[in-house]
Structure 1
Amino acid sequence: MAQIHKRFTDDQVRGLFERYVRKEVARKYLQEILGISKSRFFSLLSEYRKDPEKFSIQYSRSSPPRIDPAIEANILKELVVDKKMILDKSIPIYRYNYSFLQGQLEKKHRQEVSLSTIIDRAKKHDFYIPNRRRGVIHDREVLTRHIGELVQHDSSYHLWAPGGGEKWWLITGLDDYSRFMFYAILIKHEQVWPHINALQRLVLEHGFPYQYYVDQHSIFRFVRNRDDRYYKAGPITDEYLPQWKQVLNDCGVKVIYALSPQAKGKIERPYGWIQDHLVRTCVRENVTTIQSARKVLAEEVREYNYKRVHSITEEIPYVRFQKALKAKQSLFREFKLPPPFKSPKDLFCLRLQRSTDAYRKVSINNIPVRINGVDPHQSVTIRIYPVNPTVSELRFWHENQLVDVQTFKTQDLKGVSSFQS
């Protein structure tokens, strides 16, 4: 609703107050007519009673609005940086972010300026892109009532740090109820192990969630090609279990698959926020390595989790998460190793099936490996746990018993350690 001085003249409002003072009209009716609150009504009435003849509702600015030339110069400088990113089609930035720019002015230059002033300068100097009309948008409301009821997990491939000249993968996990981001990891190459390791971090810190929500990427689900013209013999959808799904099955965690990108709207919004801030910060700080980009990412995630009020929940994610914990509004199950496992390394790992030969050996990447405690021609499960980038631990299981543990160079497991069996 427009301001009162734009809808009424001084004489009109003065006449209404005269009738109120003479007790001809009740206050609530005048409030409805004027479209103002109770406190605003009595504030104007007080001004009227001081001097009815000089009473006025007209608003006049005491001085013309001005900002410091140095502030205006910095606004335009930051807008130029954004425009270069928008024009570069290889960078995933498609619009101006005036709120981010406002934060940069305060952080870098110690200058406070209103958002409306930044937008005004952007429009005047051709740094403005009108919002395009959007199609049907997936509903992003909170559908869960407990933390741990639904964890959204996804990965995105972009040029996060244009100065580095190469694209990297960003893996994130988000709690649906609180919108708390459990992890955000930048990696150079997408493999199964980083996804399993992210799950391990979540479970060891918070416990087993009730279910995971992912897309139909081959890491998460085997989907037979449904568009073949002719039938081909082979596994049908979900008949083959990828490594990541095997881990979740052992954890007793359900998996839901999104049937369309739009169905993953909740994770896309934080992705958009993280992506936008990560790219803009990396450009401004001239980040060229993934190590530096990881530091920027960690700071952005910290701000998202602990400082910013989420637009959907209207709460800071960490605060909402802690409130749910205190109210026992959680579906996380305490972490306890399922039998017969002896260590988390047996659970959060990569798996291979092999059979021993007549000499109690199996072949891994054409490397013969002798296994203790297993007879010839027996089936064994090899659970591979990457201890670090150079060393992996191989744990050999036979008939639900851990029979041997050996250490391998990770490079010798190449192909196997790309972590697809």
Structure 2
Amino acid sequence: MEIIQMSKKELRRGEVISKTVNGDLTQKKASQELSISLRQIKRLCKRFRKAGLEGLAHRSRGKSSQRKMNPSTRAEVLGFIKNDYPDFGPQLVKEQLERRNQIKVSREWIRRLMIDEGIWKVKKRKNIRFYQRRNRRSQEGELIQIDGSPEYWFENRDPKCCLINMVDDATGKLMELRFVREECLEGYFLGMKRYIETHGRPLALYSDRHTIFKSPKAKEKPKLTQFGRAMKELDIELIHANSPQAKGRVERAHGTLQDRLIKLMKGVGERGRWCIVHNLGTTCRRGN
């Protein structure tokens, strides 16, 4: 005797269709009871007369999906992940597979594959404190968020250094990236010099309250730092943020770069690093 697997919904539908076929219930009443169209009721009645209750079971049950990934492709992708991208996240793996290996698969499929293989762990969402959003500036170049991120960017291959990051407030683009030994005045001056030569003079800069940007004696007597005097001569307004959340675009960019840039720079030479840093604009925005 063959066993037919049916859901509760299908069994309920079978009872109503059986009554309809036997003449105990009109098709209109059956349509209202099952919340489906009259046309669908007629179709189900036809299937019931032809195959009985079995005809109402879902026809795809027990069959493999037509969208199922080819086992050879699955094995190939898994090999690339384990050998070349062992500590990459699903989105970054997807991008690198398309760019380096010419394999196009969805991010969600990669995520599920990595979870099944124990490579990726599902992260619990943290309790996020929400802040009132400040409206973006209307045009590119009006306001630039600037900050430095000290980190072991080259892991154990080089000593700890600082990445000077400049993000446009209107578009979220990474406008300037520069590695310096430490967060210092010279690094910010070189970054501003290259930004102005490439993009022109911005209207304003949005920074934290580091002593490079704001004098610690400013409360007692208004006093500009050397960086502040230079910006005043260039007619660039210098705005100081009261919290890291206030300049969230550059802070989020730091988080994305600390995750992606360190991994992408593994095993590449000096020119390879230069190419990666100078092509990170769209990558970082997708990551955020």
What is residue 292 of structure 1 aligned with on the other side? Answer: 272
Offset at 1:157?
Answer: 1.6
Q: 2:104 aligns with which of 77, 98, 112?
A: 112
Q: Counterparts of 1:238 and 1:71 in 2: how far apart (Å)?
A: 66
Q: Counterparts of 1:272 and 1:45 in 2: how far apart (Å)?
A: 55
Q: Counterparts of 2:161 and 2:278 in 1: how far apart (Å)?
A: 15
Rate the CA distance shift 1:124–1:80 in 2: closer, same or farther, 3 A.
Answer: farther
Offset at 1:97?
Answer: 1.0
Q: Counterparts of 1:156 and 1:25 in 2: how far apart (Å)?
A: 64
Offset at 1:156?
Answer: 0.9
Given the alignment of the two structures, is residue 103 of structure 1 paired with residue 98 of structure 2, yes or no?
Answer: no
**Aligned 1:288-367 pairs, distance under 5 A:** 289=270, 291-304=271-284, 308=286
TM-score w.r.t. the length of structure 1 is 0.52
TM-score w.r.t. the length of structure 2 is 0.71
Given the alignment of the two structures, is residue 254 of structure 1 paired with residue 234 of structure 2, yes or no?
Answer: no
Amino acid at match of 1:169: C
Offset at 1:153?
Answer: 0.7
Q: Counterparts of 2:101 and 2:80 in 1: how far apart (Å)?
A: 12
Given the alignment of the two structures, is residue 151 of structure 1 paired with residue 144 of structure 2, yes or no?
Answer: yes
What is residue 119 of structure 2 aligned with on the other side? Answer: 127
Amino acid at match of 2:75: E
Given the alignment of the two structures, is residue 196 of structure 1 paired with residue 179 of structure 2, yes or no?
Answer: no
Q: Counterparts of 1:14 and 1:237 in 2: how far apart (Å)?
A: 85
Structure 1: tracts of 5 or more residues without a match: 35-40, 86-95, 225-234, 312-421
Deviation string 1:291-320 (CA, Å, 9 cap, x unpaired) is 532221112225446xx4x86xxxxxxxxx
Amino acid at match of 1:243: Q
Q: Counterparts of 2:99 and 2:198 in 1: how far apart (Å)?
A: 33
Q: Counterparts of 1:209 and 1:20 in 2: how far apart (Å)?
A: 74
Q: Counterparts of 1:248 and 1:7 in 2: how far apart (Å)?
A: 71
Amino acid at match of 1:63: S
Size of the alignment, in residue pairs? 266
Rate the CA distance shift 1:20–1:261 in 2: closer, same or farther, 3 A.
Answer: farther
Rate the CA distance shift 1:157–1:184 in 2: closer, same or farther, 3 A.
Answer: same
Task: Quote the sequence identity (%).
Answer: 19
For the 8 Å contact 2:27–2:38, the answer to whether it is kept is: no
Q: Counterparts of 1:72 and 1:292 in 2: how far apart (Å)?
A: 29
Structure with bigger strand share is: 1
Q: 2:248 aligns with which of 257, 265, 272?
A: 265
Q: Counterparts of 1:152 and 1:7 in 2: how far apart (Å)?
A: 57
Q: Counterparts of 1:175 and 1:6 in 2: how far apart (Å)?
A: 54
Offset at 1:48?
Answer: 5.5
What is residue 221 of structure 1 aligned with on the other side? Answer: 214
Q: Counterparts of 2:119 and 2:196 in 1: how far apart (Å)?
A: 45
What is residue 153 of structure 2 aligned with on the other side? Answer: 160
Give the match's secondary structure for 1:270: helix
For the 8 Å contact 2:27–2:42, the answer to whether it is kept is: no
Given the alignment of the two structures, is residue 68 of structure 1 paired with residue 71 of structure 2, yes or no?
Answer: yes
For the 8 Å contact 1:150–1:210, the answer to whether it is kept is: yes
Amino acid at match of 2:61: S
Give the match's secondary structure for 1:172: strand
The alignment yields a C-alpha RMSD, in angstroms, of 4.0
Rate the CA distance shift 1:11–1:267 in 2: closer, same or farther, 3 A.
Answer: same
Rate the CA distance shift 1:208–1:131 in 2: closer, same or farther, 3 A.
Answer: same
Give the match's secondary structure for 1:248: helix
Rate the CA distance shift 1:182–1:50 in 2: closer, same or farther, 3 A.
Answer: same
Give the match's secondary structure for 2:114: helix
Rate the CA distance shift 1:72–1:22 in 2: closer, same or farther, 3 A.
Answer: same
Rate the CA distance shift 1:216–1:114 in 2: closer, same or farther, 3 A.
Answer: same
Q: Counterparts of 1:127 and 1:217 in 2: how far apart (Å)?
A: 40
Given the alignment of the two structures, is residue 182 of structure 1 paired with residue 169 of structure 2, yes or no?
Answer: no
Offset at 1:15?
Answer: 6.0
Q: Counterparts of 1:45 and 1:215 in 2: how far apart (Å)?
A: 66
Q: Counterparts of 1:6 and 1:157 in 2: how far apart (Å)?
A: 57
Offset at 1:265?
Answer: 2.0
* Higher mean displacement: 135-144 or 112-121: 135-144
Given the alignment of the two structures, is residue 169 of structure 1 paired with residue 162 of structure 2, yes or no?
Answer: yes
